[in-house]
Chains A and B, each alone.
Chain A
Amino acid sequence: MKMIDVHTLDAHIKDGMTIMVGGFLGAGTPEMLVDYIVEKGYKDLTLICNDTAFPDKGVGKLVVAKQIGKAIVSHIGTNPETGRQMMAEEMEVELVPQGSLAEKVRCGGVGLGGILTPTGIGTEVEADKTVVEVNGEKFILEQPLHADLALIYASTADEKGNLVYEGSTKNFNPLMAMAADTVIAEVGEVVPVGTLNPDSILTPHILVDYMVKGA
């Protein structure tokens, strides 16, 4: 019942939404879901992702199609189109150190008001942020990120929505699965309930709203 057809995605997405998309340079990105958003041409999306991938891969395709109003990411160097749109002021880019980005997403999903990190002290990242001193050491208060919709990828799911991620595709996926109002997982393989080892499941089914069968 969580399984939906990709064509019903329109019920869950609209222009101007904030979306989180899993993946690291495209590895672990739900490509079918991204392709559908490109096909339907949703606009002015705020994208939260590790990076903007490559022009022809992962969320990079959303950038090329000019569907992103703002990107909150740690790295854009592999997608020249992101840099071009940023310089031309067609798109806003907020760069966040990768470890801080991961924790901001995690905070958004686990009920924390933020984290104190030493990363970025003495750099431009510190600007306009609250700096807190703990035992003589300076930390930046990094606040939570939350999204309307999270699009994630898991190699294997059971019919209930428990997710297992292969290899380096975990990255932001299990964190984003906690941090959005609606969570849609594109899954490679679907197996009957009871076949997954409960010790191997990283995302419990209660966090997953819908699943789409992908490649």
Chain B
Amino acid sequence: MNAKEIIANRIAKEVEDGSVVNLGIGLPTMVANYIPDDMDVTLHSENGFIGLDKVATGDEINPNITNAGGQPVTVKSSAVFFDSAMSFALIRGGHIDITVLGALEVDQKGNLANYMVPGKMVPGMGGAMDLVTGAKKVIVAMMHTAKGTPKILKECTLPLTGKQVVDLIITELAVFKVVADGLLLQEIHESTTVENVLELTGADVIVSDTLATFA
């Protein structure tokens, strides 16, 4: 597995049978590939439905059924379509169990920055601010560093998408839980060491007494 596949595979283990999950564009979307087929998981697509299945190909393509990235997709037989007010009522109302999003920066207080770099790149927040506010569990999925520069910090420097909203940070090297005093390092990837993870992390890290490894 490459780094992104390692992240997606590890995040899939957070998904429980019967849960409702929203996956962001890009790396988070890959999580769906690692959820076991026999598990009953409902994927929410913020552009207006639950029951997202997979990217459509060939005859399956219907321009009126697309995901939040604008790609034609297929839906499960139990799918339900609705307007944007209902879609975000589900999000804000606490009816989504897990949201998985990417990050530009994340910090030890659970603050997340992922929607703009002032003066350089301003894609906008889309549904991210609502998702981090309303979802029961917020998981950040990202590469551990930006070409060697830590993205996991004591305090975010970029404009925030959400304040004190992140529950878990999962990278190709580590799994952190956001706790009161900093980040609790719960797992490291089998290919790395605690020392290496600490060196590449710009936050206060508490190494768990029950530190485990993941593949």
A and B: interacting chains: yes
Whole-angstrom distance between the alpha carbons of A125 and B115 in the complex?
12
Q: Interface code A76-113, partner B: CB below 8 Å = 1, 0 otherwise?
A: 11100001001100000101011111110010000000
Which applies to chain A's interface (DSSP): helix, strand, loop or mixed? mixed
Assess A95 versus B124: contact at CB under 8 Å? Given A27-B66, A123-B162, A123-B163: yes
Whole-angstrom distance between the alpha carbons of A95 and B122 in the complex?
10
In this complex, the member of A28, A86, A119, A166 whose beta carbon has the largest number of chain B beta carbons within 10 angstroms is A119
Interface contact B123-A167, CB-CB below 8 Å? no
Cβ-neighbour of A170 out of B63, B81, B130 (below 8 A): B81
Interface contact A25-B70, CB-CB below 8 Å? yes
Interface contact B85-A175, CB-CB below 8 Å? yes
What residues of B have a CB within 8 angstroms of the CB of A122 in the complex?
160, 162-164
Interface contact B124-A167, CB-CB below 8 Å? no
What residues of B have a CB within 8 angstroms of the CB of A166 in the complex?
64-65
Task: Let me know if B46 is at the binding interface, CB within 8 A.
Answer: yes
Q: Tell me, rounded to whole Å, the shortest Cβ–Cβ distance linking A21 to chain B.
A: 13
Interface contact B83-A171, CB-CB below 8 Å? yes
Whole-angstrom distance between the alpha carbons of A102 and B85 in the complex?
5
Cβ-neighbour of B91 out of A25, A99, A170 (below 8 A): A99
Interface contact A74-B88, CB-CB below 8 Å? no
Interface contact B70-A167, CB-CB below 8 Å? no
Interface residues of B in 28-58 (CB under 8 A from A): 45-49
Assess A167 versus B83: contact at CB under 8 Å? Given A95-B124, A119-B129, A122-B160: no
Q: Tell me, rounded to whole Å, the shortest Cβ–Cβ distance linking A23 to chain B.
A: 10
Residue of A nearest to B133 (CB): A119
In this complex, the member of A74, A97, A168 whose beta carbon has the largest number of chain B beta carbons within 10 angstroms is A168
Q: Tell me, rounded to whole Å, the shortest Cβ–Cβ distance linking B99 to chain A.
A: 13
What residues of A have a CB within 8 angstroms of the CB of B63 in the complex?
27
What residues of B have a CB within 8 angstroms of the CB of A162 in the complex?
none
Interface contact A74-B124, CB-CB below 8 Å? yes
Interface contact B70-A54, CB-CB below 8 Å? yes
Interface contact B130-A99, CB-CB below 8 Å? yes
Interface contact A100-B83, CB-CB below 8 Å? no
Task: Let me know if B213 is at the binding interface, CB within 8 A.
Answer: no
Q: Interface code B56-78, partner A: CB below 8 Å = 1, 0 otherwise?
A: 00000011111111100001000
Q: Interface code A144-173, partner B: CB below 8 Å = 1, 0 otherwise?
A: 000000000001000000000111111111
What residues of B have a CB within 8 angstroms of the CB of A30 in the complex?
none
Task: Let me know if A117 is at the binding interface, CB within 8 A.
Answer: yes
Whole-angstrom distance between the alpha carbons of A148 and B124 in the complex?
25
What residues of chain B have their CB less than 8 Å away from a CB belonging to chain A? Answer: 45-49, 62-70, 75, 81-85, 87-88, 91-92, 115, 119, 121-130, 133-134, 159-164
Having A50-B84, A73-B124, A171-B48, one finds 13 other A-B pairs with CB under 8 Å, namely A51-B126, A53-B70, A75-B124, A76-B124, A99-B92, A121-B133, A121-B163, A125-B129, A165-B81, A168-B48, A170-B82, A171-B83, A172-B84
What residues of chain A have their CB less than 8 Å away from a CB belonging to chain B? Answer: 24-28, 50-51, 53-54, 73-78, 83, 86-87, 93, 95, 97-103, 106, 117-125, 155, 165-175, 202
Give me 20 A-to-B residue pairs in the complex whose CB atoms sit less than 8 angstroms apart, sorted by A's number. Answer: A25-B69, A25-B70, A53-B70, A83-B123, A87-B119, A98-B88, A102-B85, A103-B85, A103-B88, A118-B134, A120-B129, A155-B64, A167-B65, A167-B81, A168-B48, A168-B65, A170-B81, A171-B47, A173-B83, A175-B84
